[in-house]
Amino acid sequence: MVLKVYISGMSGNKEVKKRQQRVLMILESKNIAYEVIDITEPGRETDKEFMQNKSTSNGATVSDPEPRHPLPPQIFNDEEYCGDYDAFDMANEIDTLEQFLKVAPPVEATPAAQPENGEAKTTNGDAVDAGENKENEGGESAEEKTAKNAEEGENAEV
């Protein structure tokens, strides 16, 4: 999937220019790959029509609160609409930008990787040697100790 940012290289609106620069700057800083599509370039009429027809947010600015057509920047992931500048900025502020852009890898439950030194951390923070029988000084396995600690934590809250 390709992230596409629709911009206007010849906008006379300073707010639109600043918004476009900010979007591109944030994407660069987060190392998110994207393609810039300048809808004002010759031969980009179909891209301009696509952006205007598929954008559900109009990208209103202070100087143009009710534009006739959606204003750049408009952000798409391939042909799937992500949003306008305001939605992008909000996602960036609340740290959900990757989900907004639909570029976040799916969250999978994976087992904890074994560190190079052979020790793995248990859920209670104790290190356990991966090569041993995983018993601590009390004769309990790491799993039993974790379960016991969880029960103690629940009882402490009551």
Compute and round to an integer the Cα radius of gyration of the chain.
25
Could you tell me the two tokens for 130?
A: 């991966």
SS3 120: strand
Q: Which range among 59-68, 82-91, 116-125 has the greatest average pLDDT?
A: 82-91
Per-residue pLDDT at 158 exceeds 50? no
Neighbouring C-beta atoms of residue 119, cutoff 10 Å: 13
**Is the N-terminal amide bond of 65 cis, ω within 30° of 0?**
no
Per-residue pLDDT at 1 exceeds 90? no
The model's pLDDT over 24-52, given as tens digits with 9 standing for 90+, comes to 999 999 999 999 999 999 999 999 999 99
What does the alpha-carbon distance between residue 69 and residue 16 come to, in Å, rounded to a whole number? 13
What does the alpha-carbon distance between residue 105 and residue 94 come to, in Å, rounded to a whole number? 18
Q: What Å distances lie between residue 15 and 11, 12, 52, 117, 119, CA to CA?
A: 9, 9, 19, 54, 54
The model's pLDDT over 143-152, given as tens digits with 9 standing for 90+, comes to 565 555 555 5
Among 10, 51, 4, 47, CA closest to 23: 4
What does the alpha-carbon distance between residue 82 and residue 91 come to, in Å, rounded to a whole number? 11
Q: How many helices (H) and strands (E) does the chain have?
A: 5, 6
Mean pLDDT over each residue of the chain, to the nearest integer: 81
pLDDT band at 82 (very low <50, low <70, confident <90, very high): very high
Percent of the chain with pLDDT over 90: 56
Per-residue pLDDT at 59 exceeds 70? yes
Give the helix ranges, DSSP H, for 4-141: 14-29, 45-54, 85-93, 97-100
The CATH-assigned architecture of domain 3-101 is 3-Layer(aba) Sandwich (3.40)
Mean pLDDT computed over 93-116: 75
Lowest mean pLDDT among 5-14, 74-83, 124-133: 124-133
